[in-house]
Amino acid sequence: MPTVSTKSRMDKIGVKGGMRVAIMGVKDPTLSAELAAQGAIPVTELSNLDILFYAADSAEALARIDALAPMLAEKGALWIVSVKGKPATVQHADVITAAKAHGLIDNKVVAFSATQTSLRFTRAKVAAPAEG
């Protein structure tokens, strides 16, 4: 029998108190309240973000990813939220390909809701120059 996680959606996503968070296009009636309950700080200034939630259900939305990466803090995360299942207009592979084309790497998937999935992307780590 599968075990049911007792972690909240915000815990699975990694939201912590004091994080600077922005939402772009994500339609979710409880997201803002959940973020507030977790102590996240909603911001409208789209720079140095710890987390950016971005809705992407079309090729046009995926094409805008290049403008999103610069909005993230050094260790910030871009969560791309899209419709899941048969109604989906973009697939995980489409999202991953679009994000990787802009220097982002995927490193987590979370069921965002009964109808949406989310993929986390961060900047690829730059190797430190070798000393010598």
Quote the strand ranges of the chain, DSSP E.
Answer: 20-24, 41-42, 49-55, 72-83, 104-111, 116-123
- pLDDT over threshold 80, residue 132: no
Contacts of 45 (CB under 8 A, 6+ apart): none
Average pLDDT over residues 17-33: 96
Domains, the chain, in order of start with CATH, read 9-121 (3.40.50.150)
Six-digit token string for 52: 């950016």
SS3 state at 48: coil
Tell me what pLDDT residue 64 has. Answer: 94
Query: Virtual CA dihedral for 24, 34, 28, 61, nearest 10 degrees?
Result: 20
| Whole-number Cα distances in Å, 40 to 10, 54, 55, 79 | 10, 16, 19, 15
Give per-residue pLDDT as tens, 28-85.
999 999 999 999 999 999 999 999 999 999 999 999 999 999 999 999 999 999 999 8
Please list the residues that pair with 66 across neighbouring strands: none
The pTM of the full predicted model, rounded to 2 decimals, is 0.89
Q: Which strand (E) or helix (H) includes residue 65?
A: helix 65-68
- Residue 94's identity, in one-letter code, is D
Share of the chain above pLDDT 90, in %: 84
State the greatest distance between any 2 C-alpha atoms of the chain, in Å, as a whole number: 55
DSSP for 12-30? HHT--TT-EEEEES---TT
DSSP code of residue 67: H
